[in-house]
Amino acid sequence: MVFLVLALGNIGPEYADTRHNIGFMVADYLAEKFGAPRFALGRHAFTTEFKSKGHTYVLVKPTTFMNLSGKAAQHWLSALKIPAEQLVVVTDDLALPFGKLRLKGQGSAGGHNGLKDIQATLGTDVYARLRFGVDANFPKGRQVDYVLNPFSADEQIDLPLRIEKAGEAILAFGAMGLERAMNVVNVK
């Protein structure tokens, strides 16, 4: 079975290590772990793929910037000829503590503009999303600055392990299906 892993982030070296680019970091981790070919520029995204336990995971890092992520989602679902049920979107989440993961199968965009665009473009909120907590440690009105800045020095110590856990969550989604993976990933 083929799964589309849509990793949200912004293109450009100035965004590389920012909280908003945690999706790209998780995709990079999986590509490296499984020895995937280098990401290649395709339509609306850089892509690569790898195989694990009989499944193919297509990693997609949109080139459309975060707020237009729906274009990449729609194109790659169509190109791969797979339904939205085989899509998992990896994104940052201010409502979760740093490193906390939450896997869901549907729901609101939670104020996240990338998810809003995906839902508007696909016409549904029924697709898996893996939310990676980046905390909300910023003064009122400074949300954009916060997500477009790197993780703190303390967070960077734990970041590799948290990214690895996010990678494991994606593999669980493919191997077990959404419901069982949620039971594993969403433990307190």
H-helix or E-strand spanning residue 19: none
- Note whether 47 and 73 are within 8 A (CB): no
Is 20 an active-site residue?
Answer: yes
The burial of 61, by beta-carbon neighbours within 10 Å (0-12 exposed, 13-18 middle, 19 or more buried), is given as: buried
Collapse the DSSP code of 99 into the 3-class scheme (helix H, G, I; strand E, B; otherwise coil) and give the result.
coil
Tokens coding 156: 């960077």
DSSP H stretches of helix in 34-152? 69-80, 113-122, 143-147
Distance between alpha carbon 159 and the CA centroid of its chain, in Å? 15
Place of tokens 């237009």: 68
As annotated, the active-site residues are: 20
